[in-house]
């Protein structure tokens, strides 16, 4: 039930706060490890090249040596910096961490945020006006972020939506939460759609052929490559089916995964989870419950056969996909 899932996430995010950065302090060149100018997208000079490649390294390690009009694409790897939010909360490099794991979620929601803006994925120094999310603790001189990550207004919106807990049509969620600047622009709206609406349809649509797949919920918007979204499948930071299966486990919503298996079987859609992608913790959990031991060497798990067809049939039909 969506209300239960939303309540669960609200609880996991209880301590999560989002603040706006007032300033960060970093010294050049002393605190710089590496400084490079990212390449421009040849099709759209207002964006970075989708390869993430660099045009040149700034050997002086001083941003003042880069022309002002090029500084938006300057990426810096810092050894140290610190800063304050508009309400005076201290934060520093070294305290930013992969936070959603710590909060009990493995949705990789923060994974997007290295690409939160047009600067590089490793440039974690947030600038004035940007948002950071994290957990606070009491320091000697007042509150400080004990861990944090750079985030976006879409992430802020996502957190507020989940806290309100009200279902919302998936197209509306996508309009608000699709991330055209991110490599995995679908993560936020797919998460909200699952948690608030109990809707697994985006995962079914991944398996449909292009001529059968309905419009993407963000159809009409531009994607990471600057192309208009039509009916492409969703992109998540890792295998979409593993993502759904693990969400089903972490948020204690077995119905989501059950519904997915029933729908795929009803529509005759074959999914290869967990053959593709890494080790799925939800699969492991199901096997452990039956006192089976996952076959880590081949990455082959037995759990899915009872839902669809015999293992022998499946192996025969999908022999090309069997890991060797």
What's the min distance (Å) between Cβ of 305 and Zn ion?
13
Pairing of strands 82-85, 131-139: unpaired
Q: Considering only residues 217, 218, 251, 280, which one is a binding residue for Zn ion as defined by CB under 5 A?
A: 280
Peptide bond into 274 cis (omega under 30): yes
Q: By CB under 5 A, tell whether 247 contacts Zn ion.
A: no
Contacting range for Zn ion; rule: CB under 5 A; set: 63-71, 77-85, 228-236, 271-279: 271-279
Q: By CB under 5 A, tell whether 106 contacts Zn ion.
A: no
Q: By CB under 5 A, tell whether 294 contacts Zn ion.
A: no
What are the DSSP calls for 100-138, one per residue?
HHHTT--S-GGGGGGGSSSS-TT---PPTT-EEEEEEEE
Locate tokens 């490793």: which residue? Answer: 122
Nearer residue to Zn ion within complex by CB, 144 or 190? 190
Q: Considering only residues 274, 275, 304, 314, which one is a binding residue for Zn ion as defined by CB under 5 A?
A: 274
Ranges of H-type helices in the chain: 2-12, 99-102, 153-164, 170-177, 187-197, 201-206, 240-250, 254-266, 281-289, 311-317
Nearer residue to Zn ion within complex by CB, 174 or 247? 247
Nearer residue to Zn ion within complex by CB, 54 or 187? 187
Tokens representing 108?
């990789």
Neighbours of 260 (CB within 10 A): 23
* # of chain residues touching Zn ion (CB under 5 A): 5
What's the min distance (Å) between Cβ of 150 and Zn ion?
30
Site string for Zn ion, 190-229 (x = CB under 5 A): ----------------------------------------
What's the min distance (Å) between Cβ of 205 and Zn ion?
19
Distance CA 167, CA 196 (A): 5
| 44 DSSP β-pair partners | 41
What's the min distance (Å) between Cβ of 273 and Zn ion?
6
| 150 DSSP β-pair partners | 132
Nearer residue to Zn ion within complex by CB, 75 or 264? 264
Contacting range for Zn ion; rule: CB under 5 A; set: 5-13, 72-80, 230-238, 276-284: 276-284
Contacting range for Zn ion; rule: CB under 5 A; set: 40-48, 197-205, 215-223, 281-289: 281-289
Distance CA 281, CA 1 (A): 22
What's the min distance (Å) between Cβ of 258 and Zn ion?
13
Q: State in Å, rounded, how far the first CA of the chain is from the last one.
A: 40
Q: By CB under 5 A, tell whether 282 contacts Zn ion.
A: yes
What's the min distance (Å) between Cβ of 172 and Zn ion?
30
What's the min distance (Å) between Cβ of 262 and Zn ion?
16
Query: Cα dist. 256→129, 205, 213, 248, 264 in Å?
Result: 38, 15, 20, 6, 12
195 phi/psi in degrees, rounded to 5: -70, -45
Q: Which residue is nearest to Zn ion (CB)?
A: 280
Q: By CB under 5 A, tell whether 9 contacts Zn ion.
A: no
Distance CA 302, CA 280 (A): 12
Q: By CB under 5 A, tell whether 283 contacts Zn ion.
A: yes
Q: Considering only residues 106, 170, 179, 245, which one is a binding residue for Zn ion as defined by CB under 5 A?
A: 245
3-state SS class at 323: coil
Nearer residue to Zn ion within complex by CB, 111 or 245? 245
Locate tokens 């500084």: which residue? Answer: 71
Residues near Zn ion (CB under 5 A): 245, 274, 280, 282-283
């Amino acid at each position: 039930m969506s209300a239960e899932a939303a309540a669960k996430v609200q609880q996991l995010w209880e301590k999560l706060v989002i603040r706006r950065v007032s300033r960060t302090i970093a010294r050049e060149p002393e605190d710089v490890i590496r400084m490079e100018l990212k390449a421009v997208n040849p099709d759209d000079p207002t964006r970075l090249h989708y390869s993430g490649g660099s045009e040149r390294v700034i050997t002086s390690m001083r941003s003042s040596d880069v022309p002002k009009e090029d500084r938006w694409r300057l990426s810096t790897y810092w050894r140290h910096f610190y800063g304050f939010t508009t309400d005076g909360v201290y934060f520093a490099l070294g305290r930013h961490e992969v936070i959603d794991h710590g909060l009990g979620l493995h949705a990789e929601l923060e994974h997007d945020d290295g690409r939160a803006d047009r600067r590089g994925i490793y440039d974690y120094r947030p600038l004035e006006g940007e948002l950071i999310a994290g957990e606070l603790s009491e320091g000697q001189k007042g509150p400080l972020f004990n861990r944090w990550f750079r985030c976006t207004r879409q992430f802020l919106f996502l957190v507020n939506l989940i806290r309100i807990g009200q279902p919302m049509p998936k197209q509306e969620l996508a309009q608000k939460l699709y991330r055209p600047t991110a490599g995995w622009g679908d993560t936020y709206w797919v998460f909200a759609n699952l948690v608030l609406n109990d809707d697994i349809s985006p995962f079914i649509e991944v398996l449909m052929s292009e001529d059968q797949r309905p419009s993407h919920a963000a159809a009409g918007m531009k994607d990471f490559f600057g192309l208009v979204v039509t009916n492409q499948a969703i992109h998540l930071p890792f295998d979409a089916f593993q993502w759904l299966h693990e969400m089903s486990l972490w948020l204690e919503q077995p119905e989501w995964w059950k519904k997915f298996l029933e729908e795929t079987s009803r529509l005759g859609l074959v999914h290869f989870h967990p053959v593709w992608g890494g080790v799925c913790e939800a699969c492991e959990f199901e096997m452990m419950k039956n006192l089976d031991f996952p076959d880590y060497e081949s990455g082959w798990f037995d759990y899915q056969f009872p839902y669809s067809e015999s293992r022998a049939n499946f192996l025969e039909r999908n022999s090309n996909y069997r890991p060797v």
